[in-house]
Amino acid sequence: AQSVAQPEDQVNVAEGNPLTVKCTYSVSGNPYLFWYVQYPNRGLQFLLKYITGDNLVKGSYGFEAEFNKSQTSFHLKKPSALVSDSALYFCAVRDNGGVDSSASKIIFGSGTRLSIRP
Amino acid sequence: DAGVTQSPTHLIKTRGQHVTLRCSPISGHKSVSWYQQVLGQGPQFIFQYYEKEERGRGNFPDRFSARQFPNYSSELNVNALLLGDSALYLCASSQHRDRGGNTIYFGEGSWLTVV
């Protein structure tokens, strides 16, 4: 079964420094990977996705993610963190449910809280 | 264009009561999914509807039900509410039902508190 793991509950970074939020995945077949961000008391906002092609995917708000097939990772990165980047970040994979399922659902990791200090 | 809209934004219910949550997808989107996010956890898949038919169901009891209307809006119904149903309920829409890289967009959610 498809799954994602976010090994860090919290990541703390000083403003202006680069940041990385880690994600590893387990899928059968082609991986369709996503990053979403959730600000306090809000819904999820789409940041970026990997379908195929370039391993470095660029998304919203200056974020990018690096797909690494050999390490089954999809880490989220940003060259220079902003205080406004402080939020909860979710890595996700599309679960196609196998040949007997018509569902197309997203499986989320447990989330990583990113805290950027001024 | 409006994003995914959900109502109500917040509500408080008593154990045993029934609740209906509503969702309007992005214009042109035909697939609607529902997720439950308990505090401190990632969202969990409840249902997917496409072209007014249920296409998938997560590991939730029969107290949870949903439907999709001809205009592609959707309702999530929960009967016999339990304290553990307290959560943020997220609606998501996408253009197609495909299993590929189709982006799923989420609404702001409905906060349900069961007391």
Q: Which 3-state string (H, E, C) describes A26-74?
A: ECCCCCCEEEEEECCCCCEEEEEEECCCCCEEECHHHCEEEEECCCCEE
Number of inter-chain CB pairs under 8 A, A vs B? 79
- Best probe of the A interface among B4, B33, B39, B106, by most A CBs < 10 A, is B106
pLDDT tens figures, B23-82 = 999 998 999 999 999 988 999 999 999 888 888 899 999 999 999 999 999 999 999 999
Task: Evaluate whether B77 touches B20 at the Cβ level (below 8 Å).
Answer: yes
Strands B64-68 and B53-57: unpaired
Instruction: Select the more confidently predicted residue: A112 or A40.
Output: A112
CA dihedral sign of residues A44, A45, A47, A49: positive
Nearest CA in chain A to B34: A105
Which of A20-34, A71-85, A97-111, B30-44 has the lowest average pLDDT?
A97-111
Q: Which of B88, B103, B109 sits opposite A46 (nearest CB)?
A: B103
pLDDT tier at B13, thresholds 50, 70, 90:
very high
Domain spans, chain A: 3-117
Inspect the interface and report whether the beta carbons of A51 and B101 lie closer than 8 Å.
Answer: yes
pLDDT at A9 over 70: yes
Architecture of domain A3-117: Sandwich (2.60)
Nearest CA in chain B to A43: B108
According to CATH, the topology of domain B5-114 is Immunoglobulin-like (2.60.40)
Instruction: Select the more confidently predicted residue: A30 or A102.
Output: A30
pLDDT at B99 over 70: no
Distance CA B111, CA A40 (A): 13
CA dihedral sign of residues A105, A65, A89, A71: positive
Residues of chain B neighbouring A44 (CB-CB closer than 8 A):
43, 90, 92, 106
Task: Evaluate whether B76 touches B34 at the Cβ level (below 8 Å).
Answer: yes
Distance of alpha carbon B66 from the chain centroid: 8
Look up residue A11 and give its amino acid.
V
Nearest CA in chain B to A40: B108
Q: Which of B6, B42, B48 sits opposite A108 (nearest CB)?
A: B42
Q: Looking at residues B74-97, what average pLDDT do you find?
A: 93
Q: Which of B4, B45, B105 sits opposite A105 (nearest CB)?
A: B45
Task: Evaluate whether A68 touches A31 at the Cβ level (below 8 Å).
Answer: no
Q: Looking at residues A42-67, what average pLDDT do you find?
A: 93
Inspect the interface and report whether the beta carbons of A49 and B106 lie closer than 8 Å.
Answer: no
pLDDT tier at A97, thresholds 50, 70, 90:
low
User: What local confidence, expressed as pLDDT, does residue B21 receive?
Assistant: 98
User: What local confidence, expressed as pLDDT, does residue A94 receive?
Assistant: 84
pLDDT tier at A100, thresholds 50, 70, 90:
very low
pLDDT at A20 over 70: yes
Task: Give me B108's structure tokens.
Answer: 């702001």
Nearest CA in chain B to A99: B99
Inspect the interface and report whether the beta carbons of B99 and A36 lie closer than 8 Å.
Answer: no
Residues of chain A neighbouring B45 (CB-CB closer than 8 A):
95, 103, 105-107
